[in-house]
Amino acid sequence: MKRLSIALLLLALAPLAHAIDAAELLRQVDRNLQPESYEMYRKLINIEPDGRRKEFVLYSVKKGGDKVLALFLDPPSEKGRSTLRLGDNMWLYIPNVGKPLRITSLQSVIGGVFNNADILRVDYAAEYAAESVEETSAGYTLKLKAKNASVAYDRLVMQVDRKHRVPLTIEAYAASGMLIKTLRYSEIKDFGGGLVRPAVLETDSPLYQGHKSVMLYANIKARDLPDEVFSLNYMGRVDDLRGK
């Protein structure tokens, strides 16, 4: 009887030994999407309901969990502009304007469906607490809750690929429960240096019927960067980083 009881106890505990920790999975997602500190190039495309497109090319650098700086390279009308994010604070630098301007996470410096929080995205774990994870046929469903009210979305429901531990889709919700947008990652690619992640991110929103925005990633590379780069004084000199 004693042996039977032990056997039943071990059987009951067996699933727990294989349980996925939600917080650890979120940390894996962050590191599989991008190195802790890196540089990269992106093309952002806004597509109107009538098919018209507007494209932007950005050079971006990131350090740690919550420092991001992006420089506009194209179109010519935007060239030289830069955006900086330090935690929950964001600024836009425009050449020939006296000082950087404050911007918010829900605004968008490019228009379209991507907002500033999407463009200057920090680690998910920096903004969200992992509440739960469930195993699915394709991988995992990870549910996240914003750590404070300043975060762009109150809740995220993330479908995570089993093999690569990267997002497949993310549903972003307001505190009211309303779906704000859906983000879809695709085209998993080897960027080198052990980084295997989606090269394409598309988003649409019930708030912007018929509109779609696309983000194409290229040349993501780990890079050590000094803290001085992520400062208001450096926003006019971001181009100095390229080619170094």
19 pLDDT band, cuts 50/70/90, is low
Q: Exposed, middle or buried, 43 (CB in 10 Å: 0-12/13-18/19+)?
A: middle
Q: What is the pLDDT of residue 20?
A: 81
User: Per-residue pLDDT tens for 126-170?
Assistant: 999 999 999 998 899 999 999 999 899 999 999 999 999 999 999
98 pLDDT band, cuts 50/70/90, is confident
This prediction's pTM: 0.88
191 within some domain: yes
Q: What is the pLDDT of residue 11?
A: 46
Range with lowest mean pLDDT among 70-74, 78-82, 95-99, 179-183 = 95-99
User: Per-residue pLDDT tens for 172-198?
Assistant: 999 999 999 999 999 999 999 999 999
Task: Please state the domain count of the chain.
Answer: 1
Task: Give mean pLDDT, residues 75-84.
Answer: 96
Q: Please count the residues of the chain.
A: 244
243 pLDDT band, cuts 50/70/90, is confident
6 within some domain: no
DSSP class of residue 100?
A: P
7 within some domain: no
15 within some domain: no
CB 236 within 8 A of CB 82: yes
User: What's the CATH number where 97 sits?
Assistant: 2.50.20.10
Does the pLDDT value for residue 70 go beyond 60? yes
Q: What is the pLDDT of residue 242?
A: 92
Q: What is the pLDDT of residue 7?
A: 47
CB 40 within 8 A of CB 192: no
What is the enclosing helix (H) or strand (E) of 12? helix 2-17
Does the pLDDT value for residue 216 go beyond 70? yes
8 within some domain: no
84 within some domain: yes
Q: What is the pLDDT of residue 2?
A: 52
CB 57 within 8 A of CB 214: no
Does the pLDDT value for residue 17 go beyond 50? no
CB 230 within 8 A of CB 241: no
Distance of alpha carbon 203 from alpha carbon 70, whole angstroms? 20
112 within some domain: yes
**Domain that includes residue 41, residue range:** 21-241
2 within some domain: no
